[in-house]
Amino acid sequence: MDGVNGDLVPAKESDLFTSHCAHLEAGPSQFTVRALKMLGSTMLIVNPKESEAFEELAVAMPSRNPATSEPISSTILGGHGQTDSSVLAAKLSKRYGRQFYVSLNLKLDRLVGPLFEKSLVTYMHDHLEHFA
């Protein structure tokens, strides 16, 4: 933040991190979403409502290359190659233009996957202050 004379004023500690927890439904399934919003990035941990785990972690960030709008993503922990976490991190990074860390600990099939994603995106849109 800028001070009176253009000096940098440190951000308040309360502005650096915020956390949020929500329970979402996608068809018959229920999910717990935990979000940690940080300065410039967001971490999402998604689990089935009845159990919590931290099985994989991926990160995605907007590309610095102006010729592409596709974010850069990588799996940090867990699965190999393109994981569900890295796919979701890339989609969210592209949508919100910021870095996302995602731990998606769900077994999604072709029916529940799209329902979950729609439920998450709708919730994030309606409660943007907790995510971006």
Q: The domain that contains 23 carries what CATH number? A: 3.30.230.90
**Whether the model pTM is above 0.85:** no
* pLDDT value of residue 1: 45
* pLDDT value of residue 6: 53
Q: Domains in the chain: how many in total?
A: 1
Q: Which amino acid is at 99?
A: Q
CA-wise closest residue to 74 among 65, 82, 66 = 82
What torsion do the CA atoms of 44, 88, 91, 96 make, to the nearest 10 degrees? 0
pLDDT tens track, the chain, 132 positions: 445 555 555 556 556 889 999 999 988 889 999 999 999 999 999 999 988 888 999 999 998 887 888 898 999 988 777 889 999 999 999 999 999 999 999 988 888 889 999 999 999 999 999 999
Parent domain of 25: 15-130
